[in-house]
Structure 1
Amino acid sequence: MRLLLVDDHPLFREALASAIALAFPKAELHEADGIRAACEILEQNPAIDLTLLDLSMQGVTGFEGLTTIRARFPRVPILIVSGVTEPRVMQEALRHGAAGFVPKAVDKATLTRAISEVLGGALFMPPDLAATPAPVRGDDKAPIAERVARLTPQQMRVLGMIRQGKLNKQIAYELQVGDSTVKAHVSEILRKLEVISRTQIVIETAYLDFDQTSGF
């Protein structure tokens, strides 16, 4: 069993690694403190069986980290380990391709069961939280999550910068590409998200930003 732990808090990574090592003594553990490092490890270790990912990390908004890893490494299931306990967020994580969701406060037995079930091909949510109905949102929300999942990793990076209000020249500088390349990415993002302007991109994807959610 080869697992990748992705969290920018060293103490939590250490605690999580210790819990996993006790439950699965033969497990091979890799650790990353961010999405870029996680992608590098997954690139170098294609045999990794499962990624355990925190949603709330520096430089990551909403589900950007999850969708980035899913787009680049669709074979590797992702188990979210987060401080969130809101059914709304958990449901959205599953819509974005997560194979399971466990709050950071769960006991070792629940974490062990989550890992085992996800590795076995099942979806996992804690029974007490899975039984809680998620708030009903408008019909315009679910489709945008599915459309965002169509974006390539580079388009996801451009989308993140658009949401930060950056201009094409600023995006081109940060990505070290030409203006024409950025324009092409923006056009593709508009097409895939089925919107007509950068402003509409920001409005349509605003609900993906859970930075203000307690514990996220």
Structure 2
Amino acid sequence: MRTSQVESSDRQIFLVGDDVGAGERDSSNLRTEEPKGSLVIVDPRVLGRHCLAHGLRERQLPFEIVACGTINEWRQVKHQHAPISAILLCIGGLKPSEASVSAMITKLVAEYGRPVIVLADNDELLHVLKALELGAKAYIPTSVEIDVCIQAINLTLAGGVFLPASSVMAMRRAIETRADTYRPMSGMFTHRQEEVVSALRRGKANKIIAYELNLRESTVKVHIRNIMRKLKATNRTEVAYKINEMFPEEISH
């Protein structure tokens, strides 16, 4: 394994391993300052990693972009490059939950102590959360624009964590669904009785409860009697007290 540099009148080409054209850029656009570190792309797909490397170099990032097929390739040539700043691990259609991928993410996080950024074809919420659980600092779907990828890289280098917007929205829907189905009193009361109990604990009068629930006041009274019987309470005040004692978490819900 070797890294060589070939110079011509107008191009500079970096070769990693036996791949030809491992990355190229116009020498007229090269930065003159020293790179802040190496941004290492790990992707077994030759075309994929070099296309990504080319796109990142075109954005003139203050890093040396090094494309490798495996992390072992980086280990063999790292002495020729700036210290590693972040790792872009491209897993394609694989999932973070797969044993080989999980082991790789965990190993990279432990070995380098630098942000590990997962690039994947899938943006399902469970896969995103699994990658973060393993220690990754970002999960980027390959469907995003390269500028979004760069923003994610910058965010992780600043100490942040990047989630794709699609996954954030999926998480929000999951939370809202859970909130809609959150009924801790469902084992004791019917749905309508729960609504009456909720109104009682807020001190609402029977007429108000009837109006808000679109019920007759006589029906509300029947519900209250049934609730009192279930709680062995003698009045509506005792109902509210016992409910608050039994379901304190429901007060803030």
Given the two structures, how large is their TM-score scaled by the length of structure 2?
0.47
CA RMSD after TM alignment: 2.9
Cross-structure match for 1:62: 101
Q: What is the aligned length?
A: 135
Q: Match for residue 80 of structure 1?
A: 118
Q: What is the Cα deviation at residue 83 of structure 1?
A: 1.2
Using the TM superposition, name which of 37-46 and 81-90 deviates more.
37-46
Q: Give the match for residue 85 of structure 2.
A: 49
- CA-CA distance at 1:25 after TM superposition: 4.4
Structure 2 spans left out of the alignment, 5+ residues = 1-35, 176-253
Contact 1:39 1:69 in 2 (8 A): no
Q: 2:71 corresponds to which residue?
A: 35
Q: CA-to-partner distance for each residue in 1:41-86, whole Å, 9 max, x for gaps?
A: 558757211110023599x723121111112112x11111111211
Q: Which residue of 1 aligns with 2:19?
A: none
Distance 2:131 2:108 in 1: 13
Bigger Rg, structure 1 or 2: 2
Retained in 2: the 8 A contact 1:55–1:66? no
> Greater share of strand residues, 1 or 2?
2
Q: Give deviations 1:105-139, integer Å, cap 9, x for gaps.
A: 11122111111111111000122222212989xxx
In the superposition, the TM-score normalised over structure 1's length comes to 0.55
1:156-198 per-residue CA deviation (whole Å, 9 max, x = no partner) reads: xxxxxxxxxxxxxxxxxxxxxxxxxxxxxxxxxxxxxxxxxxx
Question: 1:35 and 1:8, CA in 2 relative to 1: closer, same or farther beyond 3 A?
Answer: same
Q: Which runs of 5+ in 1 are unaligned?
A: 137-216
Residue 61 of structure 1 aligns to a residue whose secondary structure is: helix
| Structure-to-structure mapping, 1:93-132, within 5 angstroms | 93-132=131-170
**Could you tell me how far apart the structure 1 residues matched to 2:124 and 2:73 are?**
28
Equivalent in the alignment of 2:16: none
Range moving further from structure 2, 98-107 or 45-54: 45-54
Matches within 5 A, 1:197-208: none
Q: Is the 8 A contact 2:140 2:164 kept in 1?
A: yes
TM superposition shift of 1:104: 1.1
C-alpha distance in structure 2 between counterparts of 1:43 and 1:61, whole Å? 27
Equivalent position of 1:150 in the other structure: none
Distance in 1 of aligned mates of 2:115 and 2:144: 20
For residue 30 of structure 1, give the secondary structure of its aligned residue in structure 2: strand
Q: Which residue of 2 aligns with 1:15?
A: 51
Distance in 2 of aligned mates of 1:64 and 1:57: 16
Decide whether aligned partners of structure 1 residues 94 and 3 sit closer, same or farther in structure 2, where only a CA change above 3 A counts: same
CA distance in 2, matches of 1:114, 1:24: 16
Q: Secondary structure at the residue paired with 2:117?
A: strand
Code of the aligned partner of 1:64: A
Alpha carbons of structure 1 residues 119 and 7: separation in structure 2 relative to 1, 3 Å: same
User: Residues 9 and 30 from structure 1, CA distance in 2 versus in 1: closer, same or farther, beyond 3 angstroms?
Assistant: same
